Structure 1
């Protein structure tokens, strides 16, 4: 009898090992930067905006010196060298409307909470109509994967804006959403995380209490990525939107440039770590566009601002074909992106409304 029990135990252990070996190794990182226009991504700096004193604040020379070139390809690469260098060779970039490659939000509001909700839930809920909206009743992609055995307790989100705990419905979703000036004491066992948190709490709050500076979110996210090794991660930066609203074009361009350098840092780590290399799919996009036809509307977005429904996205990593700049005339919507990502990860996801 004891031999039979032992045999059953051995067979059970072997079965568990085989299942573990077959467990999905796919990893995913979604990265957004708030309100970055497709015009800047595909065309580089805008000379009309750069020449306006109200936007360059007396130092247009610095903008032109750093970011201008007569050649469009060179110009946009000056602004985003990683996107138009390594990513364009190994991944794909969508949304150049000058070539008929269109990416749009499908929600009718054209601002942040509805945009992030559409992106992360893969559908449009027109009732989500305010940046002050309650915790999202719609389940999101990261909430879904956190319920899967292969990803359980391996999911995390970092966001500069303090609305993400509502957008992702942290309490219901069951994974940490570290946003704004949140303090997570359980992360302070790591001296680096504790130091970053202390620096953030004591820093000047450039954007008030609702949004931290991107540099703190980035360093927190990178430290977590390197030490905790999550299987699914979301990172959201915000300065591209904040500086645009302020009409500070030089700072806006620098925020874009910084964002690009952080993309490179994330990608370089992914490629250097055996847990991530060849297994990680990265989606990069934004929540909404901004004005362009009426140049002075570049500071704004929303239903009354032309062009602010127009967005872009890029992908790189596992299961992503190296298409570069996609030039075919197509139409993609923001709500499609998370499903495109899920398909590449061989996951099925459908948002549910839970009041």
Structure 2
């Protein structure tokens, strides 16, 4: 009888062990953070600007632009249908200043490196005053997550802009970073990326970045934390190509839709993954050319940002009350999506956004 009880107890222990492993797997969470460089909240929530979209100084294909972005009754949905038809209905979409929303950077520069540092570390660094700042001395939430049990080696980043090699500092952080025109050996488009004309020497087209990120999701490495930094919207805006900026925004929205579809089709990600989308800064307002640029002082309101989120723990339609949300809250929000506390590492970082159930 004693032997029988021992066998039963051993079998029960094995069964319990399997149950605990299964339960842990069921609770395992993932997060995908996406940034659309310099994508203004005005276009996100209002759609294409009618006057700008009809100005031949900024647009070369007036007829196509009118058909795609001005004729539809809802210009915002015409520009970014996934954000409005899926994310806004099933998750949250923050920063619509026309309807009481508010989000902004807290750094005093209002351009990219300071913006990315802020949203990835949870606070501004007044020492960062240039996009050529060099390797980031600050620990980002990605670096910290890469040190956590179950996440080490499963944090990856794909960025169109080469400066992310400095911003994410892979030599110290250990985060796998593919940025700019970095080679993509073993991928189907490695030769294509190497041979296409380089419109911007320091930044590849977002289509390449997107395919790399998709291949990572579908591959064996299966990152649990994935950061994707698109850049076409900002580059075309700086060139004064409003038509191309709008088409880049629509492509970015399609990229987001494909990412979400891919995540929902994969058993390791479906029902376990939070998608967070935001930007590093806004665009200037006031003069005819102000939208092309950003930066504190000369380009008013280019500190204004926005954020979208969807996932199993995101409270549908929740709008954090109180003061204006800030980009500095993104880092802690990313950690919270994984049930981790970023401020336990850095108490000076901003608190997470109140968007979860």
TM above 0.5, one fold?
yes
Q: How many Å apart are 1:312 and its aligned residue?
A: 0.4
Is the partner of 1:269 in helix, strand or coil? helix
**Partners in 1 of 2:57 and 2:124 — Cα distance?**
37
**Partners in 1 of 2:12 and 2:207 — Cα distance?**
51
Q: Which has the higher contact order (CA 8 A, sep 6+)?
A: 1
Q: 2:32 aligns with which of 26, 29, 33?
A: 29
Q: How many Å apart are 1:293 and its aligned residue?
A: 3.0
Is the partner of 2:57 in helix, strand or coil? helix
Q: Does 1:318 align with 2:312?
A: yes
Is the partner of 1:32 in helix, strand or coil? strand
Q: How many Å apart are 1:343 and its aligned residue?
A: 2.2
Q: How many Å apart are 1:142 and its aligned residue?
A: 1.0
Question: What value does the CA root-mean-square deviation take over the aligned residues?
Answer: 2.5
TM-score, L = length of structure 2: 0.88
Once the two structures are superposed, the pairs formed by residues 1-355 of structure 1 within 5 Å of their partners are 20-21=21-22, 22=24, 25-57=28-60, 59-69=61-71, 71=73, 74-183=74-183, 185=185, 188=186, 193=187, 195-208=188-201, 210-227=202-219, 228-303=221-296, 304-323=298-317, 326=319, 330-350=323-343
What do the CA deviations read for 1:97-136 (whole angstroms, capped 9, x no partner)? Answer: 1122110000000000000000111111111111001111
Taking a change above 3 Å as real, the CA distance of residues 13 and 108 of structure 1, as seen in their structure-2 partners, is: farther
Moved more, 60-69 or 279-288: 60-69
Is the partner of 2:136 in helix, strand or coil? coil
**Partners in 2 of 1:18 and 1:139 — Cα distance?**
36
**Partners in 1 of 2:311 and 2:70 — Cα distance?**
30
Is the partner of 2:304 in helix, strand or coil? coil
Q: How many Å apart are 1:19 and its aligned residue?
A: 6.9
- Alpha-carbon contact 1:105-1:333 (below 8 Å) kept: yes
Matched residue, 1:4: none
**Partners in 2 of 1:349 and 1:20 — Cα distance?**
25
Give the unaligned 5+ runs of structure 1. 1-6
Q: How many Å apart are 1:26 and its aligned residue?
A: 0.6
TM-score, L = length of structure 1: 0.88
